[in-house]
Structure 1
Amino acid sequence: MPVVLRVWSVLTTRVAIVRLMEILFGCIAFSLGIYTEGTNRNLYEIFCKATWGSFFLLTILIFFVEFTQFQTILPVSWKNLPITVASFGGFMNGAAAIIFPLFVIRNMECLTQMNRNHCIAMIAATAFSCLNCLAYGAEVYLIKMKQNEQHGYMASSLGLLKVFEVFASIIIFISVDKEDTGTFKNIHFFWWCIAVYCTCSLWSFTVIVIVIAECTGKCPFPFGRVLAAFSTFSVLLYISAIAYWTNFIDDKLEQKCSTAEDCRWMKVVIAAVMTGLNLIAYTLDCVYSLKKMCLRVETT
């Protein structure tokens, strides 16, 4: 099938302009991140650079597909895919803008050990990551505000909550470490939390894939009821996880952290905070799912 280019005026639409900004900001942030690559890379540095590089490529792909109208032959729901990528891009780039200075620039001590150009490049990468977060947020807003267009599930509050749930789980996974929590007397609860994160994040990611692949109609049970049931189950699981982190922080709160342990303590706090935020997200997910299910029952 030959490539059919759209009218060139499509490049002047607000969504297209925002996507071009995303491509520019992502390219600059990724290039600066690669330029400042250190010898002692940690998981946070890999996360930031992977975020900048992957969403730079994904945005180029989406822009090309819409410009050539290839979305009409792709076996995916195009009313759900772009806003899903934009939502993930906003959350991930926002997290990278916070994580990069806290766990990469700070650990490298660029002011004393690195040359001035590297230090400026790392600060600039953080700034462009923040700009990219704002650009992706603007794309989500523009897509949701489009009139005379049918919006998909991922553009709804439930869809955005699913994206946040997966995003929060990613931040938790790169933050938790057995060595950081190994001094807690009930280490078995730590592995229970890992099982909770894996189960809930896998389910949320599976829902996103099912919606984008337009397979909701193939579910042997009413899809809305399945979502409501599992969101309720996820709330109960996350309550047990937040109880673990509350006990762990209370157990360590009176101990003073040395300079070498500050980074580990910050990672524990991030994991605990993101667990709490994800509990709120799953609770809202549960409330919205039950409300939606009840409205469907009333209408029938």
Structure 2
Amino acid sequence: MSSRRIIPEEDDVDTLCYFLRLPQVISICLAFSLVASMGNERGAVGNWCLAIWCLCFTVTVFISMYECFYCDWILPFFWYKLPITYACYATLFCLLTSIMYPIFYVQYLPYGPSRDRAIAASAFSCIACVLYAIDVAYTWKHYKFKNIPCYVHTLPGLLKILESAVACVIFVFISNTSLYLHQPALKWCVVVYSICFVQVAVAMLLKLSGWENRLPLRLPIFHLGQTMLSFLLYVSAMVLWPLYQFDEKLGGQPHWYTDMSCIDELTDYGCVWDQRLAVAILTAINLLMYVVDLVYWTCQFSVGTEHQPSTPYPLHSQGVSLQSSVEP
């Protein structure tokens, strides 16, 4: 007899997720194939979008196969949090590629087959974004109806997802090392982005694995200290990056038309000045999210409560699976 009981509501959400994942895989595969068929013409931004689509395709197929072949097993207690967390990331990444690829690459392509394929790839990326968003919305509604706690349903969880997603986009742009190698202050900004991203990744892994309660510090103190450090680091980046990128006295380029990559024929990285501006805007966005995160954990610490997003998970701390908690 199977060790996993399937209740009607769970069966419904699984059925819809299976129904959505096939068009998700097809849309991502088509976007990937169209850009890959462009060969060396796809540019650096195209390579990054290609990597994102490839990752989404691989993870979606893995999750589908895992649930298909191991649906009768007792899944790890953290498994049910993984698909919706991944769907949130996939929604954001597909949205970002749908915006980045046309703005930073497609518009510079000459009219012809390559431009048509790039536009079609952007359209399929938009379709995949919508499909992943439906997946998130339906699963979110299902978990809320069943009173199932999930990290991405909380304000800190949403902020961590957004902070890490924005940091990934920053990494896409700073992969062009000519943006910062000429100035030590700009190199420091790259270090800031890396340190803060690692901190967010560690916090996410601790939460999803259920190991957060094993920390020697109380959760409000741990998150407050981590968020305060990231906030201060991003403040320094918010000052240094625009100053050294756009101040002519410090070797920057204050105007778009002074950058030859924006007025000459398409280069491997597209318009470099636009990428400098994009990193500055993304830095400001992440700084704003760290401010919200800092306010939240300051309030949690000031009221002296230990009611954190991880404590409402008694099943997790006891290592009990979600499926085994269902009454027979």
TM-score range, shorter chain: 0.7 to 0.9
Q: CA separation in 2, counterparts of 1:77 and 1:10?
A: 20
The 5-angstrom pairing of residues 267-278 of structure 1 reads: 267-278=275-286
For 2:173, which of 162, 172, 175 is the aligned residue?
175
Change (3 A) 1:235 1:123: same
Task: Assess, with a 3 A threshold, how the Cα gap between structure 1 residues 119 and 163 changes in structure 2: closer, same or farther.
Answer: same
CA distance in 1: counterparts of 2:72 and 2:159, whole angstroms? 25
- TM-superposed deviation, 1:55: 0.7
CA pair 34-66 structure 1, distance change in 2 beyond 3 A: same
2-side partners of 1:74 and 1:211: how far apart? Answer: 17
Structure 2 counterpart of 1:19: 21
Q: Is the 8 A contact 2:235 2:287 kept in 1?
A: yes
The 2-side partners of 1:127 and 1:260 are apart by 26
Q: Which runs of 5+ in 1 are unaligned?
A: none
The DSSP-based 3-state class of the residue aligned with 1:78 is coil
For residue 4 of structure 1, report the CA deviation from its aligned partner. 9.1
Contact kept in structure 2, 1:77 and 1:211, CA below 8 Å = no
Return 43-52 or 198-207, whichever deviates more: 43-52
Which amino acid letter does the alignment assign opposite residue 179 of structure 1?
S
User: What residue is the counterpart of 1:157 in the other structure?
Assistant: 155
User: Does the CA contact (< 8 Å) of 2:259 and 2:273 recur in 1?
Assistant: no
What is the alpha-carbon distance in structure 1 between the residues aligned to residue 72 and residue 31 of structure 2?
28
Query: Residues 59-99 of structure 1: CA distance to partner in whole angstroms, max 9, x if unpaired?
Result: 12222333445495454612321122111111111111122
User: 1:230–1:258: structure 2 CA closer, same or farther, 3 Å change rule?
Assistant: closer
> Is the alpha carbon distance of 1:50 and 1:292 closer, same or farther for their aligned partners in structure 2, counting shifts above 3 Å?
same
Contact 1:153–1:159 (8 Å) recurs in 2: yes
Label 1:188 to 1:31 Cα distance change in 2 as closer, same or farther (>3 A): same
Q: 1:71 to 1:143 in 2, by over 3 A?
A: farther
Match of 1:33 in 2: 35
Deviation at 1:174, TM superposition (A): 2.0
The one-character-per-residue Cα deviations of 1:113-144 (angstroms, maximum 9, x if unpaired) are: x5x3x432221110011121122222222222
Structure with higher RCO (Cα < 8 A, 6+ apart): 2
Structure 2 CA distance for partners of 1:294 and 1:72, relative to 1, 3 Å = farther
Query: CA shift at 1:295, angstroms?
Result: 5.0
Identity %: 25
Give the distance between the partners of 2:276 and 2:93, measured in 1 at CA. 19
How many pairs does the alignment contain?
290
User: Partner amino acid for 2:300?
Assistant: K
Does 2:187 match 1:191? yes
What amino acid maps onto 2:27 in structure 1? Answer: F
Distance change in 2, residues 1:34/1:195 (3 Å): same
Residue equivalent to 1:63: 64
Aligned counterparts, 1:51-130, within 5 A: 51-70=52-71, 73-75=74-76, 77-107=78-108, 109-111=109-111, 114=112, 116=113, 118-130=114-126
1:77 corresponds to which letter in structure 2? F
CA 1:3/1:235 → structure 2, altered by over 3 Å: closer, same or farther?
A: same
Matches within 5 A, 1:128-139: 128-139=124-135
TM-score normalised by length of structure 2: 0.78
Going from structure 1 to structure 2, the CA distance change for 1:225 and 1:143 (only over 3 Å counts) comes to farther
Provide TM-score, normalisation by structure 1: 0.84
Q: Aligned residue for 1:225?
A: 221
- Which of the residues 232, 239, 242 maps onto 1:236? 232
Structure-1 residue corresponding to 2:324: none
Preserved CA contact (<8 Å) 1:144 1:155: yes
Task: Between 143-152 and 202-211, report the one with greater CA deviation.
Answer: 143-152
